[in-house]
């Protein structure tokens, strides 16, 4: 990878506090000169931590990162509920925090682990009738949000001083940590809100390898920002890999199906050529025994377009 025109890959950005996800994308676009830049799911302005940004053709893989599990460090302040479920909102309820032993706290967290139904905050980027909920809520419109299933793999308390709880939370995509904080406060009868949040991981993208925007700016000024770009196939590392012969690779790039091994059991896979270049994400068609392209990431050679019709 030598420059913006050829850039395809991922940046693991450590999002700073008070920046929107759109702010980060705009900054990355300015620093790198890459026009095609996209993020893999919003992270609230109040939050910091892992935000995976896709460059070039890798933006086509954003949905695969968005769907990965997340890990957070969260600070929950009990005794005050807010309308946004976090520290940026207006207080709506206050009450004394009941005394809680370690065992009682663990018991209070238990209902919020496993497969649960969660109602997202009305102040969120979720859309209803084509418009973000937070826009409707700020206009004072009545907003009804239906609960939806999410999975909380871990809700482990780290410290608790009788009012402020810090915890490690591992959860499925689509889980709102703000809602966990609010619902915990409701269950305890004292109210609660999320007062700080740091995303520690998205899948195998960890905070320990994340770069700051300042580091990206310094690398861009030195003409070496591409050294910070991660391979695009990190976005689909959870899918099995298939390697194609040259004629199969050529067919795939022109949208043609290619034979799948008889033992193929995966619904989707990442397809490579023999040089180790990621070509596409493919989906198995079990009725025909072929892989069909879902996301093609490499431009085919227009001089080799003499291919038969798709089967």
Contact 155, 180 (CB under 8 A): yes
pLDDT in the model for residue 309: 43
Vertex 93 angle, CA 92 and 98, to 5°:
155
CA torsion angle 219 225 227 233 (round to 10): 140
pLDDT in the model for residue 308: 44
Neighbouring residues of 103: CB distance < 8 A, sequence distance ≥ 6: none
pLDDT in the model for residue 311: 38
For 209-224, letters b (16+ CB in 10 Å) and e give ebeebeebeebbeeee
Helix segments in the chain, DSSP class H: 21-32, 62-66, 102-109, 133-138, 177-188, 213-221, 246-253
Query: Closest by alpha carbon to 282, among 272, 290, 270, 274?
Result: 270
pLDDT in the model for residue 68: 96
Instruction: Map out the domains of the chain with their CATH numbers.
Output: 4-67+204-234 (3.30.2350.10), 76-170+180-191 (3.30.2350.10), 239-304 (2.30.130.10)
Neighbouring residues of 22: CB distance < 8 A, sequence distance ≥ 6: none
pLDDT in the model for residue 307: 44
233 is catalytic: no
Catalytic member of 18, 23, 44, 103 = 44
Contact 291, 279 (CB under 8 A): no
Full-prediction pTM beyond 0.85? yes
Q: Which residues of the chain have pLDDT under 50?
A: 1-2, 305-311
Q: How far apart are CA 30 and CA 24, in angstroms?
A: 10
Contact 76, 181 (CB under 8 A): yes
């Amino acid at each position: 990878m030598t420059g913006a025109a050829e850039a395809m890959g991922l940046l693991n950005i450590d999002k700073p506090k008070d920046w929107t996800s759109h702010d980060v994308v705009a900054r990355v676009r300015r620093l790198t000169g890459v026009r095609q830049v996209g993020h893999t799911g919003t992270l609230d302005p109040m939050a910091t931590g892992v935000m995976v940004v896709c460059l070039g053709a890798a933006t086509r893989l954003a949905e695969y990162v968005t769907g990965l599990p997340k890990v957070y460090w969260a600070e929950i302040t009990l005794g005050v509920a807010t309308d946004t479920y976090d520290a940026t909102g207006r207080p709506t309820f206050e009450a004394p925090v009941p005394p809680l032993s370690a065992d009682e706290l663990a018991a209070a967290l238990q209902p919020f682990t496993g497969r649960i139904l969660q109602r997202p905050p009305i102040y969120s980027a979720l859309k209803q009738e084509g418009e973000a909920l937070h826009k409707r809520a700020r206009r004072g419109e009545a907003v009804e949000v239906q609960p939806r299933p999410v999975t909380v793999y871990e809700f482990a308390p780290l410290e608790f001083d009788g009012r402020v709880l810090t915890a490690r939370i591992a959860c499925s995509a689509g889980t709102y940590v703000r809602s966990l904080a609010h619902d915990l406060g409701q269950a305890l009868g004292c109210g609660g809100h999320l007062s700080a949040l740091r995303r520690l991981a998205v899948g195998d993208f960890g905070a320990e390898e994340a770069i700051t925007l300042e580091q990206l700016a310094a690398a861009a000024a030195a003409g070496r920002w591409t050294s910070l770009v991660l391979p695009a196939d990190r976005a689909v590392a959870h899918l099995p890999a298939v390697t194609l012969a040259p004629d199969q690779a050529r067919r795939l790039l022109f949208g043609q199906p290619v034979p799948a091994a008889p033992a193929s059991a995966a619904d989707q896979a990442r397809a490579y050529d023999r040089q180790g270049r990621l070509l596409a994400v493919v989906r198995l068609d079990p009725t025909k025994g072929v892989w069909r392209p879902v996301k093609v990431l490499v431009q085919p050679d227009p001089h080799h377009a003499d291919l038969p019709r798709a089967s």
